Amino acid sequence: MRKALLFTCAAALLAGTACAPIEPWVKPYEREHLADPIMSLTPNPVSAAYIDHVYEVREGAKGATGGGGGGCGCN
Amino acid sequence: MRRQSPLLALAGLLLAAAAQGAQLPEERADLLYHRYSGGGITVEGPSVLVRKNFGDSFSATANYYVDAITSASVDVVVSGASEYKERRDQKSLALDYLHGKSTWSASYVESAENDYKAGTWSLGVSQDMFGDLTTVSFGYSQGHDRIRRTIQDQLTGEKFVDPDFQRSIDRRNYRVGVTQVLTRNLLLSLNFETVTEEGYLQNPYRFRRFCVPFCDASTPADSWSTQGEIFPATRTGNAGSGRLKYYLPWRAALDGSYRFYSDTWGIRAHTAGIEYTQPMWGRWVLSGSYRYYSQNSADFFSDLFPFEEAQNFMVRDKEASALKSHTVGIGAAYEFPITWTSWLKRGSVNLSLTHMMIDYSQFRDLRDYPPGSVTPGSEPLYSLDANVIQFYLSLWF
């Protein structure tokens, strides 16, 4: 009985912790560097789409590039 | 005819890609000139993209893209065909809707050339969470390609689309991604994508090669001949990637990425890349990159089959061969404010040069070795060098 009570309390404690709001560890005022345009993951979408497709038609693999498109011949 | 429909799905992904963070992307216009030259192929043309926001919640993106192709590739030359020219036009439209910390996206992309038409629509959603440190995105694309074949009249030499040849491909893409702020200087991006394809997954202009009369490890053949390739009608590929981008103390960015790919044809591929970006002299941004790619061959690939009907599936596409490639790139951008008009904020002029070096481990170069000239299978392996130029103007408004 005591073990069950301890287990219930521990589970409740864990659940409470899990549900607590997560404090952002990088505050909004600390994101100056991340907001710099050189940190953009896709600063030039047209160019990125094009070069991804150049790779795609020359290689067997594709996908998970987070972007893509463009075009070139492959025959 | 090109394997372009995966690109449609990817272009859809790009256009439907949810914004990084719960805000609409910047309004912009891009005019790009691209040129690919290598392996006997030249592809060039413009690409125009315009993104316009409507109110605080809607954004629309339109893209028009052209490929003008001149090809005398190793496949074309060995098949005995002459150099050909063709053109492909691609149009796309995407809409983003911002609601709270979610961005909903929809897009449609279509591509047309004389022997290949393709259309792909995409849906996506992204959600910012955990104090905007995390962005989770999901997406789905569905595409349909219609494939024709150009043939040549033996008497007149005239080329025309074969009225008796019509094939199709159905394609579905499922993707999930997470972008995570790790520290005040470090971003992490993880992406996973599954692509399923069903239909005519081969190129009607390519061929398989086999020994005549036959060959094996101890019995070389005198000559070789060709027939059409035989591909499976289905393919499922999975790709997972990770990317880290780090802000360096002297205002520069270092970007590293890795991707693993695996599919039901037996292809396994590794891609690794690194890029360095350095602002200079106030308005310039310089960059340099290196990318390494390696894959093994598809299970049913062979440069030379022992006889004509050696197995169920027989493929000699160089893209299904084992290969390794190294790519280096440099880029320069000049950014400038625009003060002479109120509806433009700033602009940039960009030049990007990329050099690719691809070495095929199994695919052989037969251009100077017609049947009967040497022992089949002793021809040199094929390699390809290509240069890619991109010159573009971007305007933000």
Which CATH number does the domain housing residue B41 bear? 2.40.128
B265, part of any domain: yes
pLDDT tens for residues B168-216?
A: 999 999 999 999 999 999 999 999 999 999 999 998 989 999 999 999 8
Query: Quick check: A16 contacting B, CB < 8 Å?
Result: no
The answer to whether the CB atoms of B388 and A54 lie below 8 A apart is yes
To 10 degrees, what angle do helices A45-58 and B5-16 make?
A: 160
Contacts of B73 in chain A (CB under 8 A): 73, 75
Q: Which residue has the tokens 């059409």?
A: B228
Mean pLDDT of chain B: 91
**B248 → chain A, closest CA residue:** A33
pLDDT tens for residues B110-133?
A: 999 988 999 999 999 999 988 888
pLDDT tens for residues B45-102?
A: 999 999 999 988 999 999 999 999 998 889 889 888 888 899 999 999 999 999 988 9
* Distance, CA of B314 to CA of B302 (rounded, Å): 7
Give the A:B interface size as CB pairs under 8 Å. 234
Q: Which residue has the tokens 């095929």?
A: B360
B174, part of any domain: yes
Contacts of A38 in chain B (CB under 8 A): 247, 251-253, 277, 279, 285
| ipTM value for the complex | 0.89
Predicted pLDDT of residue A21: 65
The answer to whether the CB atoms of B13 and A68 lie below 8 A apart is yes
Check whether B11 has a pLDDT greater than 50: no
B150, part of any domain: no
* Distance, CA of B277 to CA of B287 (rounded, Å): 4
Predicted pLDDT of residue B191: 95
Query: Quick check: A22 contacting B, CB < 8 Å?
Result: yes
B244, part of any domain: yes
- Mean pLDDT in residue range B8-35: 66
pLDDT tens for residues B221-243?
A: 989 999 999 999 999 999 999 99
In degrees, rounded to 5, the angle at the alpha carbon of residue B2 between the alpha carbons of residues B92 and B69 is 85
**A53 → chain B, closest CA residue:** B7
Instruction: Pick from B15, B33, B34 the residue to mutate for testing the A interface (most A CBs within 10 Å).
Output: B34
Contacts of B187 in chain A (CB under 8 A): 34, 39, 41
As a whole number of Å, the CA-based R_g of chain A is 24
Query: Quick check: B316 contacting A, CB < 8 Å?
Result: no
Helical residues (DSSP H) of B110-227, grouped into ranges: none
Check whether B394 has a pLDDT greater than 60: yes
Contact B140, B122 (CB under 8 A): yes
The answer to whether the CB atoms of A64 and B241 lie below 8 A apart is yes
Predicted pLDDT of residue B1: 53
List residues bridging with B172 in a β-sheet: B142, B196
pTM: 0.87
B36, part of any domain: yes
* Distance, CA of A54 to CA of B388 (rounded, Å): 9
Query: Quick check: A29 contacting B, CB < 8 Å?
Result: no
How many structural domains comprise chain B? 1
- Mean pLDDT in residue range B139-146: 94
Q: What's the token pair of residue B71? A: 């090809």
Query: Quick check: B204 contacting A, CB < 8 Å?
Result: no
Q: How far is CA B313 from CA B203, B305, B365, in A?
A: 14, 11, 22
B10, part of any domain: no
As a whole number of Å, the CA-based R_g of chain B is 23
Check whether B299 has a pLDDT greater than 80: yes
Contacts of B293 in chain A (CB under 8 A): 55, 59, 61
Return all residues near B164 (Cβ < 8 A) that are at least 6 apart. none
Strand, coil or helix: A10: helix
Check whether A56 has a pLDDT greater than 80: yes
Q: Which of B13, B390, B392 sits opposite A67 (nearest CB)?
A: B13
* Distance, CA of B102 to CA of B118 (rounded, Å): 30
Check whether B249 has a pLDDT greater than 70: yes
Q: Which residue has the tokens 């912009």?
A: B28
Contact B51, B28 (CB under 8 A): yes
Return all residues near A10 (Cβ < 8 A) that are at least 6 apart. none
B308, part of any domain: yes
Query: Quick check: A5 contacting B, CB < 8 Å?
Result: no
- Above pLDDT 70, what percent of chain B? 94
What does residue B232 show for φ and ψ, rounded to 5 degrees? -65, 160
Contact A72, B8 (CB under 8 A): no
The answer to whether the CB atoms of A36 and B251 lie below 8 A apart is yes
**A20 → chain B, closest CA residue:** B130
Domain around B60: 25-93+129-143+155-396
Predicted pLDDT of residue A11: 60
Quote the strand ranges of B200-345, DSSP E. Answer: 207-212, 223-228, 234-248, 252-263, 268-280, 284-295, 323-337
